[in-house]
Homo-oligomer: A and B are copies of this chain.
Amino acid sequence: MIMLYSSALGFTTILDLLGTFAFAVSGIRWASTKKFDWFGAYVIGLVTAIGGGTTRDLLLNVTPFWMQDATYLIITGVALLATLLFRNGLFRWGRALFLFDSIGLGLFTVVGIGKSLEAGFPFWVCIMMGAITGSVGGVIRDVLLNEIPLLFRKDIYALACIAGGIVYMICYRSGLSASLTELLAALTVISIRIIAVRYHVQLPFLKPLHPDPDNKEDKE
């Protein structure tokens, strides 16, 4: 599946690069709000793009994917260059960037599930690995920027990966071809993500719990 992914499907490879580009731009954009220098912005872009897959690979006990292929470092460099050259002009493409980001999320999820299945893990682990691949990069980005991770307040991100993972598993068990399984799972992630953002779909928030229930003010 991975072989198929990286050689035959040129179309998938292009989508993977676009997803990486969108993730890196998102990191660089956030870094720019914190007065980072160019090198710092590059690091944040890189971590956003590869952090999820690296966490997955460490948990699966395999060599992180970006240590076997310099493409991800180069794409991040291109993202930094594009940001420096076009600056805010880049964000006229806001809608395209959001689309790339959603496509990246769908692909990263599918790649994460495929790698975990190959490593022989049970389904529920594979679904978690798909969600980790898609969402942990953004969490590390937010931690490095000294912010509370957006993920914990904008849940439909990781939940979209989990829904895609469930679709993947149903297709896989039903004996669908690998390509069709991957396509349906990725489309699930992408469409849930787009619908959630467009219609502001959110999970309920957890109300503050106090040791003393009479103390109701929220200090945040």
Chain B residues near A143 (CB-CB < 8 A): 143-144
- The answer to whether the Cβ of A77 comes within 8 Å of any Cβ in the partner chain is no
User: Are A151 and B203 within 8 A (Cβ)?
Assistant: no
User: Are B35 and A205 within 8 A (Cβ)?
Assistant: yes
User: Are B206 and A31 within 8 A (Cβ)?
Assistant: yes
User: Are B144 and A152 within 8 A (Cβ)?
Assistant: yes
- The answer to whether the Cβ of A219 comes within 8 Å of any Cβ in the partner chain is yes
A61 to B73, CA, bound (A): 20
Question: Beta-carbon contacts of A21-56 to B below 8 Å, as 1s and 0s?
Answer: 000000011011111111111011000000000100
Chain B residues near A84 (CB-CB < 8 A): 206
> How many residues in A have their beta carbons less than 8 Å from beta carbons of B?
64
* Given contact pairs A29-B209, A73-B124, A211-B94, A37 touches B204 in the complex (Cβ within 8 A): yes
* Given contact pairs A39-B152, A152-B44, A208 touches B145 in the complex (Cβ within 8 A): no
- The answer to whether the Cβ of A220 comes within 8 Å of any Cβ in the partner chain is yes
Chain B residues near A158 (CB-CB < 8 A): 39, 43
A209 to B205, CA, bound (A): 30
- The answer to whether the Cβ of A70 comes within 8 Å of any Cβ in the partner chain is yes
A125 to B58, CA, bound (A): 16
A125 to B205, CA, bound (A): 41
User: Are A32 and B88 within 8 A (Cβ)?
Assistant: no
- The answer to whether the Cβ of A121 comes within 8 Å of any Cβ in the partner chain is yes
- The answer to whether the Cβ of A148 comes within 8 Å of any Cβ in the partner chain is yes
- The answer to whether the Cβ of A67 comes within 8 Å of any Cβ in the partner chain is yes
CB-contacts of A89-140 with B (<8 A): 90-91, 94, 121, 124-125, 128, 139
A31 to B33, CA, bound (A): 25
**Pick from B35, B38, B151, B218: contact of A40, CB under 8 Å:** B151
Give 21 A-B contacts (CB < 8 Å), ordered by A residue.
A31-B206, A32-B207, A35-B153, A35-B218, A38-B155, A38-B204, A39-B155, A39-B159, A40-B153, A43-B151, A54-B59, A59-B67, A61-B63, A73-B124, A73-B128, A88-B211, A91-B211, A139-B144, A143-B144, A144-B149, A146-B146
